[in-house]
Amino acid sequence: MTNWKLKATIADRFGKQWRFAQELGIDPAVVSRVVTGAADLPDKEKSRWARKLQAPETIFNRESAAI
């Protein structure tokens, strides 16, 4: 299930998912898998991503995935 809040936040802050991935120094496919729900992030990465996005870590919760 796509996390639309996460996707929208990435778009608002970075324009494109690949730019966010570049900022994090990771493969864009990792961002895509997290956004689509195909992969979960470890807590340490949730913290790092949330800081970069200036968003709460709850943005990664499946319950808050819908807009």
Q: Judging by beta carbons within 10 Å of its beta carbon (0-12, 13-18, 19+), is residue 45 exposed, middle or buried? A: middle
In angstroms, the CA 62 to CA 22 distance is 24
pLDDT tens digits, 9-63: 999 999 999 999 999 999 999 999 999 999 999 999 999 999 999 999 999 987 6
Model confidence at 67, in pLDDT bands (50, 70, 90)? low
Tokens of 5: 């809040």
Contact 20, 52 (CB under 8 A): yes
- 16 or 67, which is more confident: 16
In angstroms, the Cα distances linking 64 to 3, 4, 37 are 8, 9, 12
